[in-house]
């Protein structure tokens, strides 16, 4: 089973849930797909055994073959190509902005002159290792790069189907989180009971329903804020899988990179129960209720 852990906004405790869940059950692989700010490694201290380049294929344009027809510019959804057509005063020119290129390959595919080839541009790295019995993989986007999805896709290539896979997704509801949660069997949405938390939870719920991914909610710092999140989940038939009350000790342990279950061993049973809740929900009629 592949479980993603996501949140509509940052700072809700998503990584805490992913890491403590991974530490509480057996035969686990954890993929940290929050490639702009991967910090699961701070809690798990994995021994890194391998490193690979993460890249996107970008076009290389042969100006000898190019006739400056502009087809590549027309098909580029990301405005990564500008073409100055030939005229009496100029032989034409073509400009390529590599930072805007998403590596979709359309320009190469559609160039009528076969003037476009591809080369790989490194945009980050993938590191693989082990944290005790946990198989660990994370991606790190290079500083200044904006293209998280290709790195996330490359991290997900290492999914080990013989294990329970936990994916720590990026926060939000944009392309990176969609890339991370797509294809997972269940998504745990971590939230907090504040107006911002609820607003972003609603967006995340909408995204899960569009993607048809089964999901449930964990409410972190559940004793702060108000009861509107609980009410929203009740009204929407969304299962609350776990509630974690605010604790200064937990906050302090987080800032020191210590998993909750190391400081409070009694939490291990609660995370095992969280896993049971997820597996039970997968096998019941919640899907129909949540998708409606």
Distance separating alpha carbons of residues 172 and 119, to the nearest angstrom:
31
Whether the Cβ atoms of residue 219 and residue 225 lie closer than 8 Å to each other: no
Whose Cβ is closer to ligand SF4: residue 119's or residue 256's?
119
Residue 59 or 259 with smaller CB distance to ligand SF4: 59
Neighbours of 157 (CB within 10 A): 10
Rounded-to-integer distance, Cα 121 and Cα 174, Å:
23
Cα separation of 135 and 190, whole Å? 23
- Rounded to a whole number of angstroms, the minimum distance from the CB of residue 277 to ligand SF4 is 42
Please work out, in degrees rounded to the nearest 5, the angle formed at the alpha carbon of residue 45 by the alpha carbons of 39 and 48.
95
Residue whose CB is less far from ligand SF4, 131 or 152: 152
Choice between 91 and 256, CB closer to ligand SF4: 91
Please provide residue 183's backbone torsions phi and psi, each rounded to the nearest 5 degrees. Answer: 85, 0
Q: Nearest distance from residue 87's CB to ligand SF4, in Å?
A: 14
Distance CA 28, CA 219 (A): 23
Tell me the two tokens of residue 90. Answer: 């100029």
Q: Which residues bind ligand SF4 (CB under 6 A)?
A: 59, 61, 66-72, 75-76, 78, 80-81, 83, 94, 101-107, 111, 113, 115-116
For the CB of residue 63, give the shortest distance to ligand SF4 in the complex, in Å. Answer: 8
The CB-of-98 to ligand SF4 minimum distance in angstroms stands at 8
In the bound complex, what is the minimum distance in angstroms from residue 95's beta carbon to ligand SF4?
A: 11
Which C-beta is closer to ligand SF4: that of 1 or that of 75?
Answer: 75
């Amino acid at each position: 089973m592949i479980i993603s852990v996501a949140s509509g906004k940052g700072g809700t405790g998503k990584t805490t849930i992913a890491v403590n869940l991974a530490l509480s059950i057996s035969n686990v692989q954890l993929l940290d797909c929050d490639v702009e700010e991967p910090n699961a490694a701070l809690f798990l201290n994995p021994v890194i055994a391998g490193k690979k380049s993460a890249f996107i294929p970008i076009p290389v344009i042969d100006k000898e073959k190019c006739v400056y027809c502009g087809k590549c510019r027309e098909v580029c959804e990301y405005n990564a190509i500008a073409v100055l057509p030939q005229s009496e005063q100029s032989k034409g020119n073509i400009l390529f902005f590599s930072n805007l290129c998403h590596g979709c390959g359309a320009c190469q595919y559609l160039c009528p002159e076969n003037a476009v080839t591809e080369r790989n541009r490194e945009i980050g790295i993938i590191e693989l290792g082990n944290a005790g019995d946990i198989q660990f993989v994370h991606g790190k986007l290079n500083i200044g790069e904006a293209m998280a999805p290709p790195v996330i896709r490359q991290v997900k290539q290492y999914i080990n189907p013989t294990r329970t896979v936990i994916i720590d997704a990026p926060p939000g509801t944009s392309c990176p989180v969609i890339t991370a949660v797509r294809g997972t069997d269940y998504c745990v949405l971590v939230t907090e009971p504040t107006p911002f938390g609820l607003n972003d939870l609603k967006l995340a719920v909408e995204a899960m329903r569009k993607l048809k991914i089964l999901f449930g909610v964990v409410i972190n710092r559940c004793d702060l804020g108000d009861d509107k999140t609980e009410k929203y989940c009740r009204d929407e038939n969304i299962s609350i899988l776990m509630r974690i009350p605010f604790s200064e000790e937990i906050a302090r342990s987080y800032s020191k990179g210590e998993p909750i279950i190391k400081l409070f061993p009694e939490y291990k049973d609660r995370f095992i129960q969280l896993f049971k809740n997820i597996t039970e929900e997968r096998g019941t009629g919640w899907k129909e209720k949540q998708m409606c």
